[in-house]
Amino acid sequence: MKTLVLGGYGNFGARICRALAGDPAIQLLVGGRDRVRAEAMARELGAGAQGVAIDLDSPGFTGELRQLGVELLIHTAGPFQQQAYRVAEAAAAAGCHYIDLADGRRFVCDFAAAMNPAFRAAGRVAISGASTVPALSSAVIDHLCAGWQRIDTIDICIAPAQTAPRGRATIEAVLSYCGAPIQVWTEGRWQARPGWGQPERIEFSRLRPRLGALCDIPDLELFPVHYRVGRRVMFRAALEVGLTQRVFAMLARLRTWGVLPQPRRLGGLLNAMAPALDFLGTSLGGMVVRATGADAQGQAVARSWHITADHDHGPEIPCMAAILLARKLAAGAALPVGAHACLGLLKLAEFKPEFDRWGMVSEVVDDGTPAA
């Protein structure tokens, strides 16, 4: 299957390319605006990989996909918070499958309704959110809550390592909703909470406790409906250096007060300053997913899933779902035709070999009887 990774020499795209290079079922194209970088990445990979210069904003983008004979397009050129569906529309028009790593709430949540007719007509598969959320997070919930009569609460927290690779675009994306009102399902109803505001202490099985604050992701909207969650769905990010977490909380307050209406403009400055704090952190990151509800016998139950990634391998996790799905498509696996958010398309067990490849430690913990 001729597979184009758009943004293939970027932070996440390069990781996906390295994972797919050499797969006998995949002919890999490393794509991006910079031909020199694309070709250099392809040479590094070997195994028949080819570097191509391609611009998603080009008027001839659809025609270029057809000319290259692309059968699967993996879109990693984020951030997705401000993107429309131009790349997906081009993929459908060119008759190729489509996967993206989007974590933008509106992008993922509105994807199926917007793109399903085009991909069903093309007889192709389109999957949005093939990343940590909601692809991995939903696989974890399916595993933790298998057989349960109901789910009362879901709490997710991602804890990146301080020294893990980061970029200006990523920081600008998270700052775009810093201090903005985010609709959250809590206390059994939708309520507005400020992004990155009101940090709380989060416990992990193999990490030191951290402060975590609300982030705007697709799970906040998808999970209450998909899992019929009774009381709460919450997602937080917990930065390793507490000072950084408090700076984000202060920026959130400034936006709430009307003093700083566009925090994202500080993305470049914060990205440049971040390495100065690396000495306060480590290369250890992780994630925790907690759920409470009633088990098959109707008894109150609380379980959690934890993963720890050392040596700055945490950024491999957002790439895993796209890698697994690309291999499935290339192997001829039957995936549902049409456009979908990446919910329930992968089992947690399918991620295990990828976790092992990077020396990541994951575990399920019985948290006892949930608090009232």
Q: Which DSSP category does 127 fall into? A: E
Judge whether 2-132+316-351 and 133-314+359-366 match in fold: no
Hey, where are the domains in the chain? Answer: 2-132+316-351, 133-314+359-366
Exposed / middle / buried, residue 96 (Cβ in 10 Å: 0-12, 13-18, 19+): buried
Q: Helix or strand or coil: residue 248?
A: helix
Q: For the domain bounded by 133-314+359-366, which CATH number is listed?
A: 3.30.360.10
| Among 126, 124, 123, 80, residue whose Cα is nearest residue 101 | 80
For residues 260 and 194, what is the distance between their CA atoms, to the nearest angstrom? 14
pLDDT in tens, the chain (372 residues): 999 999 999 989 999 999 999 899 999 999 999 999 999 999 999 989 999 999 998 999 999 999 999 999 999 987 887 789 999 999 999 999 999 999 999 999 999 999 999 999 999 999 999 999 999 999 999 999 999 999 999 999 999 999 987 777 778 888 889 999 999 999 999 999 999 988 999 999 889 999 999 999 999 999 999 999 999 999 999 999 988 899 999 999 999 999 999 988 888 888 888 889 999 999 999 999 999 999 999 999 999 999 999 999 999 999 999 999 999 999 999 899 999 999 999 999 999 999 999 999 999 999 887 765
3-state DSSP: the chain helix, strand, coil percent, rounded to 5? 40, 25, 35
For residues 280 and 240, what is the distance between their CA atoms, to the nearest angstrom? 8
**Fold for domain 2-132+316-351?**
Rossmann fold (3.40.50)
